[in-house]
Amino acid sequence: MKIETNSSISLNVLRGALLTNEDGAEFRIHDFCVNLDELTEVLVSIKEIDNEGNLDDETIDLYFSSLKKWTIQLQGGYVNDY
């Protein structure tokens, strides 16, 4: 499947998605925000998944643009209850 240019989705669709960084560590997207003095940069709040599959209590905030080499797996029907 090819994603057409100018396609878009709501950031809410990405909540709960599984992210994997270049080292294989896994995270879940928790939330999004923008700083009012940097409206063009979206911050994504993520929580790391430990070796037992549990989410860390603390969130990590990263610029969405810094995740270009990470992979994302959308989680249809995922309940964001954390």
- The more confident residue out of 4 and 1 is 4
Whether the pLDDT of residue 77 is over 60: the answer is no
Residues 22-70 pLDDT 10s: 999 999 999 999 999 999 999 999 999 999 999 999 999 999 999 999 9
**Tokens 């989705």 appear where?**
9
Phi, psi at 2, each rounded to 5°: -105, 135
Please give the single-letter amino acid code of residue 39: L
The pair of structure tokens assigned to 73 is 């797996």
pTM score:
0.82
